[in-house]
Every structure is written in structure tokens, then in C-alpha cells.
């Protein structure tokens, strides 16, 4: 049976602007705060065990100081082509190295759901997407971004999700998640 897998970091925001939660609701971003390390790809369900082992192997070789990665997000990027608005992370060598190791280790599992996302993975720019589907109201969503955009977050978990379809409900279902603590 075909499934979709992805590897991402759950980001717990420990500091965020007052407007952010309402903004995400208004613009229908229903996914948890996250940074994607491995873009969604199709796999046969039988390959999941190998992928779990690969991710575990990569994480076992990295010593995460204090069992977390701290990130600061502040710069706003409004991508008119993708119709998305993002808060870009400041440079973080630990996260960059982690993404590279995950991407490289999983190179044999690259049947991308959207082929264009391979470029996102190869040219990794960690960010939080703060909008959902804003095709018709992109300009309004850009205007509604608050003045203060600084967010401070911590990553304490890496998530391997394996779902039937790429939806917020599937992505939040614990049965579809393998959680790795840092």
C-alpha cells in the first residue's frame, strides 16, 4: 500500500507575538508549528521499518546539547508564487547539519509527492509557514502580518510521519507518527 512519509521537527514556541495564533486560525494553517527536514515522499508501507531505522541511526550519532535545538524566527518572506507567508529562522548550524544528514541518509526514498519540493530540501531554508491556503486573499494576508514578528522556539522532537494523505488531521494522528526525542 502506498503511503506518504516526511520528517519534520516539532517547534514549540516559547516566545511569540500576540497576533500569531489568531492569524494562523484566520488563514487556516492547521498544521502544528514545524520545520520540514525531509519533504513528503511516496513509499510502499513495507519500507517504513527501514526508514524508521535510518532516522534513528542518524539521530543516535548526534549529540544535541541540552536535548534541544533553539531557533529564532523573525524575517518575513511573502512568497507570491507559492502563496505562502513564512517566518525565516536565523542561521543555525546544528539544524542545517541535521537536515543534511537526514536528507542524505534517506536519498533512496525520494519519490516526491510534489517534485518541486526537492529543491526546498536541497536548498534548505528553515522557516515556519504561518498561512494555509491563501490563494485568493494573499495580499490581505500579507497586510495582516503584525509588526512584531519575533518568535523563539525549541525543537525537542523529530517526527517521522507516515500517512495515507497529506492533511492536518493525518499529520496530528499519533498512530501515524514516530517520535524521536532529542
Query: Was domain 2-181 assigned CATH 1.20.140.10?
Result: no
Query: Sign (positive/negative) of CA torsion 111, 113, 118, 120?
Result: negative
User: Which tens digits make up the pLDDT trace of 37-55?
Assistant: 999 999 999 999 999 999 9
CA atoms within 13 A on the CB side of 61: 10
Give backbone dihedrals phi and psi of 44, rounded to 5 degrees, phi first.
-80, 140
Q: What is the pLDDT of residue 78?
A: 93
Q: Are strands 177-181 and 111-112 parallel, antiparallel or unpaired?
A: unpaired
In this prediction, what percent of the chain has a pLDDT beyond 70? 100
CB-CB neighbours of 143 under 10 Å: 9
With bands split at pLDDT 50, 70 and 90, how would you rate the model's confidence at 177?
very high
Please, are residues 158 and 37 in contact by the beta-carbon 8 Å criterion?
yes
> Across the chain, what does the average pLDDT equal?
95
SS3 98: helix
State the Cα–Cα distance between residues 166 and 168, nearest whole angstrom.
Answer: 7
C-alpha cell at 114: 510534489
Cut 0.85: pTM above it:
yes
Find, among 181, 182, 173, the residue nearest to 4 by Cα.
173
With bands split at pLDDT 50, 70 and 90, how would you rate the model's confidence at 7?
very high
User: Which tens digits make up the pLDDT trace of 95-144?
Assistant: 999 999 999 999 999 999 999 999 999 999 999 999 987 888 999 999 99
Amino acid at each position: 500500500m502506498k503511503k506518504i512519509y516526511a520528517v519534520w521537527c516539532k517547534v514549540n514556541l516559547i516566545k511569540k507575538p500576540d497576533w500569531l495564533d489568531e492569524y494562523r486560525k484566520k488563514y487556516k494553517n492547521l498544521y502544528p508549528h514545524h520545520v520540514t527536514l525531509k519533504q513528503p515522499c511516496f513509499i510502499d508501507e513495507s519500507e517504513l521499518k527501514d526508514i524508521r531505522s535510518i532516522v534513528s541511526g542518524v539521530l543516535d550519532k548526534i549529540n544535541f546539547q541540552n536535548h534541544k535545538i533553539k531557533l529564532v524566527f523573525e524575517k518575513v518572506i511573502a512568497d507570491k508564487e507559492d502563496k505562502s507567508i513564512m517566518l525565516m529562522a536565523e542561521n543555525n548550524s546544528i539544524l542545517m547539519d541535521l537536515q543534511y544528514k537526514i536528507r542524505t541518509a534517506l536519498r533512496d526514498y525520494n519519490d516526491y509527492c510534489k517534485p518541486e519540493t526537492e529543491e526546498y530540501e536541497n536548498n534548505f531554508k528553515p522557516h515556519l509557514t504561518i498561512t494555509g491556503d491563501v490563494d485568493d486573499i494573499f495580499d490581505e494576508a500579507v497586510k495582516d502580518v503584525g509588526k512584531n514578528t519575533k518568535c523563539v522556539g525549541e525543537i525537542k522532537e523529530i517526527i517521522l510521519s507516515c500517512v495515507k494523505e497529506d492533511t492536518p488531521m493525518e499529520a496530528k494522528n499519533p498512530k501515524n507518527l514516530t517520535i524521536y526525542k532529542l
